[in-house]
Amino acid sequence: MDKNKTSYSHFFPKHSFHPCFYSYIWTNQNGGIMKHVIIAGGAGFIGSHLCEYLLHKGDRVICLDNFRTGHPKNVSALTNHPYFKLVEHDITMPYMIKGIDEIYNLACPASPIHYQDSPIETTKTSVIGTLNLLELARENHCRFLQASTSEVYGDPEVHPQPESYWGHVNPNGIRSCYDVGKRCAESLCMDYHRRYGVAVKIIRIFNTYGPRMACDDGRVVSNFILQALQGKDLTIYGNGMQTRSFQYVDDLIQGMERIMSTPDSFTGPVNLGNPEEHTILEFAERILELTGSRSRMVFRPLPADDPKRRNPDITLARQALDWHPRISLREGLQQTIAYYRNLLAESPSQNISRP
Among 242, 247, 254, 274, binds ligand UDP (CB under 6 A): 242
Among 11, 67, 165, 237, binds ligand UDP (CB under 6 A): 237
Nearer to ligand UDP, 264 or 282 (CB): 282
- Residues 201, 271: Cα–Cα separation, whole Å: 11
- Residues 338, 347: Cα–Cα separation, whole Å: 14
- Residues 100, 94: Cα–Cα separation, whole Å: 15
Q: First CA to last CA across the chain, in angstroms?
A: 32
* Element at 168 (helix H, strand E): none
Residue in 150, 170, 145, 171 with CA at minimum distance from that of residue 162 = 150
- Residues 198, 267: Cα–Cα separation, whole Å: 10
Nearer to ligand NAD, 141 or 326 (CB): 326
- 66, 134, 61, 107: CA torsion to nearest 10: 30
Quick check: 275 binds ligand NAD (CB under 6 A)? no
Distance of CA 322 to the CA centre of its chain: 20
Candidate segments 21-29, 58-66, 131-139, 302-310, binder of ligand UDP by CB under 6 A: 302-310
Enter the DSSP assignment of 207.
Answer: -
- Residues 316, 59: Cα–Cα separation, whole Å: 27
Among 81, 278, 303, 324, binds ligand UDP (CB under 6 A): 303
Distance of CA 252 to the CA centre of its chain: 8
Candidate segments 44-52, 133-141, 224-232, 275-283, binder of ligand NAD by CB under 6 A: 44-52
Among 100, 110, 229, 259, binds ligand NAD (CB under 6 A): 110
Candidate segments 16-24, 67-75, 222-230, 327-335, binder of ligand NAD by CB under 6 A: 67-75
Residue in 42, 84, 78, 87 with CA at minimum distance from that of residue 59 = 84
Instruction: Work out how close the CB of 260 gets to ligand UDP at its nearest, in angstroms, rounded to a whole number.
Output: 25
Q: For ligand NAD, how many residues bind (rule: CB under 6 A)? A: 29
Per partner kind, with CB cut-offs from 5 to 8 A, the member of ligand NAD, ligand UDP, none near residue 45 is ligand NAD
Per partner kind, with CB cut-offs from 5 to 8 A, the member of ligand NAD, ligand UDP, none near residue 303 is ligand UDP
Quick check: 91 binds ligand NAD (CB under 6 A)? yes
Instruction: Work out how close the CB of 325 gets to ligand NAD at its nearest, in angstroms, rounded to a whole number.
Output: 13
Catalytic residue among 83, 178, 209, 339: 178
Quick check: 154 binds ligand NAD (CB under 6 A)? no
Instruction: Work out how close the CB of 240 gets to ligand UDP at its nearest, in angstroms, rounded to a whole number.
Output: 6
Nearer to ligand NAD, 149 or 267 (CB): 149
Q: Could you tell me the maximum CA-CA distance found in the chain, to the nearest angstrom?
A: 64
Instruction: Work out how close the CB of 80 gets to ligand NAD at its nearest, in angstroms, rounded to a whole number.
Output: 20
Phi, psi of 37 (to 5 degrees): -120, 140
Contact yes or no for 4/77 (Cβ under 8 A): yes
- Residues 234, 227: Cα–Cα separation, whole Å: 6
Candidate segments 12-20, 101-109, 212-220, 263-271, binder of ligand UDP by CB under 6 A: 212-220
Which of the residues 176 through 205 are near ligand NAD (CB under 6 A)?
205
- Residues 91, 122: Cα–Cα separation, whole Å: 11
Among 35, 56, 60, 68, binds ligand NAD (CB under 6 A): 68
Which of the residues 59 through 118 are near ligand UDP (CB under 6 A)?
111-112
Residue in 173, 161, 165 with CA at minimum distance from that of residue 206 = 161
Write the Ramachandran bin of 252: left for phi over 0, alpha for psi from -120 to 50, otherwise beta.
alpha
Residue in 270, 266, 264 with CA at minimum distance from that of residue 318 = 270
Told to judge if 178 belongs to the known catalytic residues of this protein, a careful annotator would answer: yes
Chain residues in the site for ligand UDP (CB under 6 A)? 111-112, 207, 218-220, 223, 235-237, 242, 244, 280, 302-303, 306
Chain residues in the site for ligand NAD (CB under 6 A)? 40-41, 43-47, 64-70, 90-92, 106-110, 125, 129, 147, 149, 205, 207-208
Catalytic residues: 178
